[in-house]
Structure formats: structure tokens, C-alpha cells
Amino acid sequence: MINLIKSIFQKKSQQQIEQPLQQQLDPYKHFNYKTINKNTIKLKSDCSAIAINKENSLLLVSHESKIKVYMLKNDSLKQVQLITNHHKRVTALKFFNKYSLSYLSSSKDSNIIISSSYLCANPKYIQKLSGNSQGIISLALNIQEDLIVSGSFDQMIRFWSRDTQSTISNWKCSQTIQDHSCYVEGLSINDESNTVVSCGFDSRILIIQRKNLSSKWLITQKIQVHTFCHQIIFINNNTFAFQDIGLTKLLIYQNINDKNQSPNYIKSKELVLQGNHNGNKSYFQSIYNHSKQVLICKNGNTINFIRVIKKSTNQKRDNLIFRLEQAIDYGQLFFGLLVGTLSEDGQYFITWDELSQEIQLKKYQEL
């Protein structure tokens, strides 16, 4: 009897040790995004960009050259405004976090426009950034919100900056770089705002860096890839994810050099994605969300949701584990038109696709 009690006690003690250890090894719960069926918003014309503000109260949806503004309340959408500042297809939309009613829009009309979503009868833009000779395809805004980087059909990368002490309307083009031999499809800025990665239809990735806020941006590395590319996103300051349009894999690149050395990004991992790579249009840009540590990327007609787990290590490089949590198949998309965005808190994933022609809301839930 004594031996039985001793055995039970030892087993219970072992379980108490193993449980915290298991939680330490894998503290991240599994999750998925579940569709909200409160109301259906039909949008028959092509949509190429969606954005949601930090408060999860306003949604912007491009409608060819127009922008529709929706109010989001109790998981339901209601259109409240129509913006007509552009005269060609809108290609990107981004809300400012510090100025939650203000947002960026870019277009094939070659302009970037800073506007306010403040609801009024005749909304006007705050500032128009011109200078591109051709339409803008890609757009990135840094965390500090004092740097905009744009890529266009004219193969140019433009850097737009403002004094952080000035108003949101005081932007100017501070530098241009032309090294791509074809149009610039994807852009991303790291959290420290000292590195930009770009990719395009010339099958190259450019690593562009600056030493400090007052120094010029310089190309410090060029990476040749398999074929043309469009999805690229920083995960942390020294790691980015990239998708080659000809492959069903997500490629992870990490900088193996120290801060005081020139960067040397090498391919460290390959992740097999769900879906067929056919139909990889450029409208959907990969997303990384810090609050949920979730990487979202499109492969053909399928959206992949990947948890990024940082494993403790003594090595200089971060040891990242990538765990596929969910894959959503949107059906047979003839043109591959599928766009989406994730809210800042990671609660809402919002999409439009050519098959359903609906704005669909999905909500985060842990399993």
C-alpha cells in the first residue's frame, strides 16, 4: 500500500514537472479564423486593396479607382462613404496608427494620397505625393510612421519622409533608387526602419540599408531567385519571408552577420505551403502580425496561416519554428484575385475574392 501511494505521488510530481516544461516548449495555442455570417457585402467590381484601422471601427475597400468606407460595429459592416480621389485603379491602402482616421492610398494614376476618413459630405485629401512617371504597385509604411517607401511600374523605389515633429501633411521625396530592371512588386521595412527589402519581376531581391536617420539608403546585397516574385515581408529585424511565384514554398532568409558588418542574408528554411501556385496574382501581400505572431501568405487560391515561434537559443541567429495552423481554400479563382488584411490586434481577417465577390469577415479563435 505504501509503495502504491509512493508510486502515485511520484507520477503526480512528474506530471507537475512535465506540464510547465511542455508549456515552456510550446506556449502557443492552436488557432483558426472562423467566418462571421452576420451580413454579406457584395462587391462585383475587382478589388485590389483592403485596410482596417487600429480601433477596428473603419474598413477601406478599393473599388476600381474608388474607395468605399465601411463602419464595422458588432461584427457587421455598413457603407458610410465613397472616396473618389484617384482616377485609376487603387493598388494599396494603409491606415496610420498614430492618426487613426488618416490613411494612405496608392494608384495606377502614379499618385500616393494621404486622406482622412473623417466622415463628411465632401471629403478632401490632406496631401498628394507625386513624381512617379508610372503607376504605383507596392507601398510600405514603417512603424514610426515617418517613412513611406513606394515601388512602381517605372522600376523606381522612392523614399518619402517627414519630420516626426511636423504634421502628417509634410511629406517629401527624400531619395530614389533604380536598380530593378522590371517593375517593383513587393516592399517591406523592418521594425528598426534601417532595412528595406524589395522584389520584382526581374527575379531579384534587393537589400537596402541606411546607417542612421540622416544617412542615404544604399543597396548592400542582391539576391537572385528562381523566377519573378511579389510577396515579401519582414518577420523581425533580421529575418524576412519571401515567396517565389513559381514555387509552392515559402522561403525564409536570415542575416547571419553582426550589426557592425554588411548584411549577408541567406536562405535558412523552406516551408511547403498548402494550395496550388497557379494564379498567384500580386494584389495579396504577405502579412506578419506581431501581437499574434502570425504569418499569412497566399499560395494560388489558398491562404496559409502560420504561427511563428521563437525558440530560445545561444546562437546569434534567431531559431524560428514555423507551424501551419490553418489553410483556407477559396475555390477555383480563374484570375487568382484574392486580397486581404489583418487587423492590428489580429482579431479580424478580412478578404475579397473574385469567386464569391463578397467582403468576408473572419474572427480569431484559439482552439
What confidence tens digit (pLDDT) does each residue in 316-361 have? 667 899 999 999 999 888 777 899 999 999 999 999 999 999 999 9
C-alpha count within 13 angstroms, C-beta hemisphere, residue 65: 10
Question: In the predicted model, is pLDDT for residue 18 greater than 50?
Answer: no
The dihedral region occupied by 75, where left means phi > 0, alpha psi between -120 and 50, and beta the remainder, is: left
> Right CATH number for 41-274 from 3.40.720.10, 1.10.10.10, 2.130.10.10, 2.60.120.260?
2.130.10.10
Question: In the predicted model, is pLDDT for residue 17 greater than 70?
Answer: no
Distance between CA 244 and CA 52 in Å, rounded?
A: 27
Output 11-15 pairs: Cβ under 8 A, ≥24 positions apart.
Answer: none
Lowest-confidence region among 8-17, 132-141, 241-250: 8-17
Lowest-confidence region among 79-88, 159-168, 193-202: 159-168
3 state DSSP class of 2: helix
3 state DSSP class of 19: helix
- Among the listed residues 224, 196, 48, the one whose alpha carbon sits nearest the alpha carbon of residue 136: 48
Q: Which amino acid is at 353?
A: D
3 state DSSP class of 197: strand
Question: In the predicted model, is pLDDT for residue 190 greater than 50?
Answer: yes
Q: How confident is the model at residue 8 (pLDDT cuts 50, 70, 90)?
A: very low
The CA-based dihedral angle spanning residues 198, 199, 200, 204, taken in that order and rounded to the nearest 10 degrees: 120
3 state DSSP class of 7: helix
Distance between CA 319 and CA 91 in Å, rounded?
A: 35
Domain ranges of the chain: 41-274
What average pLDDT score do residues 277-301 get?
85
Which alpha helices (DSSP H) does the chain contain, by range?
2-25
Q: How confident is the model at residue 245 (pLDDT cuts 50, 70, 90)?
A: confident
What average pLDDT score do residues 182-192 get?
94
**Cell triple for residue 280?**
498567384
Structure confidence by residue, pLDDT tens digits, 148-179: 999 999 999 999 999 777 778 889 999 999 99
Q: Percentage of residues in the chain with pLDDT exceeding 90?
A: 65
Distance between CA 359 and CA 203 in Å, rounded?
A: 33
**Can you give the pLDDT at residue 25?**
47
Residue 309 near residue 318, CB atoms below 8 Å: no
The radius of gyration of the chain from alpha carbons, rounded to an integer in Å, stands at 22
Average pLDDT taken over every residue of the chain: 87
Distance between CA 301 and CA 320 in Å, rounded?
A: 26
Distance between CA 27 and CA 30 in Å, rounded?
A: 10
Residue 297 near residue 273, CB atoms below 8 Å: yes
